Amino acid sequence: MPDPIQITQLTPLSKSSSKTAPHPTAEDPLRKAAIDLEASFLTEMLKSAGLGKSREGFGSGGAGEDQFSSFLVRAQAEQIAKAGGIGLAESLYHALKETQNDNP
């Protein structure tokens, strides 16, 4: 029977992928556009999932909660996208980069 895998033998995906290719900087306009688009997509998905809906009854935020909940959902979606998100930004970035390289 083979030896069980030791936790020290595992390498996180983010560390192993950074060895194979240099990670583009966040200042790259294509990267920023891709992250912004993923954040917009995530905002709509979070709204569809019910995040940001006002609560009723005791402890509800009232009119202020209704007014500012969209800002909170957008901020959460931006943080998710900046942290790696669902991989949409990465796919978009590579597609945009290929398009840019094809058109001199």
Instruction: Report whether pLDDT(13) > 70.
Output: no
pTM for this model (two decimals): 0.65
pLDDT band at 31 (very low <50, low <70, confident <90, very high): very high
Q: List the structure tokens of 58.
A: 């005791």
Burial of 64 (0-12, 13-18, 19+ CB in 10 A): exposed
What is the phi/psi pair of residue 93, to 5°?
A: -60, -45
